[in-house]
């Protein structure tokens, strides 16, 4: 049997990805992909998982998790993706549209999924929409680039690879200083001592010891389901599992009467999903200044000093000329740079970056990583960077590595 077509479409920050997906799924004609016109296609993407999660939460309709008690929301990214793929294959589609399929997955799960997708591609048409070159399946037969709404086909694989191997861009200038010097905090910002966590009788974390000190740059590494989000939510005050544990945050023992609000003021938090909350018409200048007021968008008139500071950040990011533009009109990569400036404007004692490069194309991810390195070296802010990918160019001082065991994940400190 001859191998069906496997299409790879490389997307960048200008790509109208949603529009091409919609056309593919409702069989609207796409000249370069005529073969798919009358075929049934299904979507494998983060947005589909979110949609099913929403169905569960709001309407109590369990589709992907029919066979388990656990809700989709509490599953790890790997478990969620497996459940979605299984469900899609049961529907026997003619082709699958895969959108950044390896995002949020650890290295081992990525490798398993890659093998499974290559296997599927040997008998079924797949259309990959990917922003990272390393995600393109080796079985790919036809290559494209999506600029805006325009789909450009390549004559050969060689022509595609030659044109798209990117070069790095870097920042020049230092990161702006805060309006007020960083509040004097204890040297130890976070201290887990023999912290164990269980869900429904199953132990997920086993005797975690982890101390994060002022100004340190950590990468938190662990396979899907190893408990990374659980650890982060204990630090940010979003998990009740933190109570009764030997956990000290900014010098205060957990459960000793601190308010979640006080805690949140000390932590800058960024995950790509946060950008989706900013749907209003906020200018870039106001978006950055809103970080000083802990608000989503700006609802007070900014002072001249605040504006000057925001302008310094915009200049550093190369976005000063766009300062009056609306945040919602920026590219995905630009939005993340602005969100980083917003999270950093006060130089919080701790900055948490939860898979911050997911979904970005290679040049935008490289630029983002460059900004993180810069913040780490030019400020007293401690950073926790969570990512499954070995981001080329990221320079953490330490790794905190979770290893999964039957009795819960154990943690150890490793040097990068
Ligand atoms: N509220 C909950 N109820 C039941 N199980 C949960 C809950 N929250 C997390 N879990 C389980 O705990 C384990 C650890 O989950 P967690 O989300 O912390 O892992 P993770 O390392 O962040 O995974 P990923 O990299 O996929 O995001 C998973 O097996 C998950 O299913």
ipTM confidence score: 0.96
What does the pLDDT read at residue 2? 67
Burial 4-32 (b: 16+ CB within 10 A, else e): bbbbbbbbbbebebeebbeebbeeeeeee
CA-based diameter of the chain, in Å?
69
Cα 196 to ligand 1 centre (Å):
14
Cα 340 to ligand 1 centre (Å):
26
Please name the residue whose Cα sits nearest to atom 25 of ligand 1.
224
**d(Cα 266, Cα 108) in Å, to the nearest integer?**
34
Q: Is the CB of 76 under 6 A from ligand 1?
A: yes
Q: Is the CB of 389 under 6 A from ligand 1?
A: no
Q: Is the CB of 226 under 6 A from ligand 1?
A: yes
Domains 6-164 and 188-281+292-297+347-414 share a fold: yes
Taking residue 115's Cβ as centre, other Cβ atoms within 10 Å add up to 10
Which tokens go with 161?
Answer: 């690879």
Please name the residue whose Cα sits nearest to atom 29 of ligand 1.
225
Cα 387 to ligand 1 centre (Å):
15
Ligand 1 atom showing the smallest separation from residue 226 Cα:
21
pLDDT in tens, the chain (416 residues): 567 999 999 998 778 889 999 999 988 888 888 888 889 999 999 999 999 998 888 887 888 888 887 888 888 888 899 999 999 999 999 999 999 999 888 878 888 899 899 999 989 999 999 988 888 998 899 999 998 889 999 998 878 887 887 544 567 678 899 888 666 567 899 999 999 999 988 999 999 999 999 999 999 999 888 999 999 999 998 888 777 788 999 988 887 777 778 888 889 999 888 777 777 788 999 999 998 887 766 778 889 999 999 999 999 888 888 888 899 888 888 889 999 999 999 999 999 999 998 888 888 888 899 899 999 988 999 999 998 766 778 989 899 999 999 999 999 998 77
Label each residue of 38-107 as H, E or C: CCCEEEECHHHHHHHHHHHHHHCCCCCCCCCCCCHHHCCHHHHHHHHHHHHHHCCCCEEEEECCCCCCCH
Q: Is the CB of 45 under 6 A from ligand 1?
A: no
What does the pLDDT read at residue 99? 95
116 three-class SS:
helix
Q: Is the CB of 77 under 6 A from ligand 1?
A: yes
Q: Is the CB of 128 under 6 A from ligand 1?
A: no
**HSE-CB for 53 with a 13 A CA cutoff:** 15
Angle 161-387-399 from CA coordinates, rounded to 5°: 120
Q: Please give the C-alpha separations between residue 331 and each of 290, 335, 359, 361, in angstroms, as whole numbers.
A: 20, 6, 12, 11
What does the pLDDT read at residue 219? 95
Ligand 1 atom showing the smallest separation from residue 230 Cα:
18
Domain spans of the chain? 6-164, 188-281+292-297+347-414
Sign of CA dihedral 118, 119, 125, 126: negative
What does the pLDDT read at residue 163? 85
Which tokens go with 223?
Answer: 């396979």
**d(Cα 101, Cα 89) in Å, to the nearest integer?**
15
* Among the listed residues 210, 270, 202, the one whose alpha carbon sits nearest the alpha carbon of residue 236: 270
Which tokens go with 336?
Answer: 């993340």
Q: What is the CATH number of domain 188-281+292-297+347-414?
A: 3.40.50.300
What does the pLDDT read at residue 185? 65
Cα 239 to ligand 1 centre (Å):
12
What does the pLDDT read at residue 253? 85
Sign of CA dihedral 330, 332, 336, 339: positive
Cα 80 to ligand 1 centre (Å):
11
Cα 62 to ligand 1 centre (Å):
18
Which residues, 6 or more positions from 338, have their beta carbon under 8 angstroms from its beta carbon? Answer: 284, 287, 288, 317, 319, 327, 330
Let me know if 36 is exposed, middle or buried by CB neighbors in 10 A (0-12, 13-18, 19+): buried
Q: Is the CB of 408 under 6 A from ligand 1?
A: no
Q: What is the CATH number of domain 6-164?
A: 3.40.50.300
Please name the residue whose Cα sits nearest to atom 30 of ligand 1.
75
Q: Is the CB of 200 under 6 A from ligand 1?
A: yes
Q: Please give the C-alpha separations between residue 151 and each of 285, 385, 400, in angstroms, as whole numbers.
A: 33, 34, 42
Burial 148-161 (b: 16+ CB within 10 A, else e): eeebeebeeeeebe
Let me know if 182 is exposed, middle or buried by CB neighbors in 10 A (0-12, 13-18, 19+): middle
């Amino acid at each position: 049997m001859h191998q069906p077509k496997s299409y790879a479409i490389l997307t960048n920050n200008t790509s109208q990805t949603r529009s091409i997906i919609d056309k593919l799924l409702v069989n609207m004609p796409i000249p370069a992909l005529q073969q798919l016109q009358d075929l049934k296609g299904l979507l494998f993407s983060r947005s589909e998982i979110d949609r099913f999660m929403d169905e569960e939460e709001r309407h109590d309709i369990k589709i992907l998790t029919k066979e388990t008690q656990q809700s989709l929301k509490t599953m790890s990214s790997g478990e969620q993706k497996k459940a979605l793929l299984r469900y899609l294959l049961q529907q026997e589609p003619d082709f699958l549209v895969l959108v950044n399929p390896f995002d949020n997955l650890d290295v081992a799960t990525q490798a398993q999924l890659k093998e499974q997708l290559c296997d599927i591609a040997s008998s079924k048409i797949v259309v990959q929409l990917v922003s990272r070159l390393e995600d393109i399946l080796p079985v790919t037969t036809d290559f494209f680039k999506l600029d805006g709404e325009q789909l450009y086909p390549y004559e050969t694989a060689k022509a595609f690879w030659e044109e798209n191997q990117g070069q790095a861009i870097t920042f020049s200038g230092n990161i702006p200083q805060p309006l007020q010097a960083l509040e004097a905090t204890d040297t130890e910002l976070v201290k887990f001592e023999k912290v164990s966590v269980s869900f429904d009788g199953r132990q997920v974390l086993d005797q975690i010891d982890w101390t994060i000190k002022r100004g340190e740059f950590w990468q938190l590494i662990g396979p899907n389901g190893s408990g990374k989000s659980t650890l982060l939510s204990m630090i940010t005050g979003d998990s009740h599992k933190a109570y009764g544990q030997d956990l000290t945050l900014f010098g205060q023992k957990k459960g000793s009467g601190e308010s979640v609000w006080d805690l949140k003021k000390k932590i800058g938090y960024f995950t790509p999903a946060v950008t989706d909350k900013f749907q209003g018409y906020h200018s870039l200048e106001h978006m950055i200044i809103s970080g000083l007021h802990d608000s989503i968008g700006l609802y007070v008139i900014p002072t001249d000093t605040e504006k000057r500071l925001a302008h310094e950040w915009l200049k550093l990011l190369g976005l000063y000329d766009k300062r009056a533009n609306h945040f919602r009109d920026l590219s995905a990569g630009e939005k993340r740079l602005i969100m980083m400036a917003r999270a950093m404007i006060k130089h919080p004692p701790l900055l948490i970056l939860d898979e911050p490069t997911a979904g970005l194309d290679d040049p935008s991810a490289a630029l983002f990583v460059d900004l993180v390195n810069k913040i780490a070296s030019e400020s007293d802010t401690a950073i926790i960077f969570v990512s499954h990918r070995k981001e080329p160019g990221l320079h953490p001082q330490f790794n905190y590595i979770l290893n999964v065991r039957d009795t819960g994940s154990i943690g150890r400190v490793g040097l990068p």
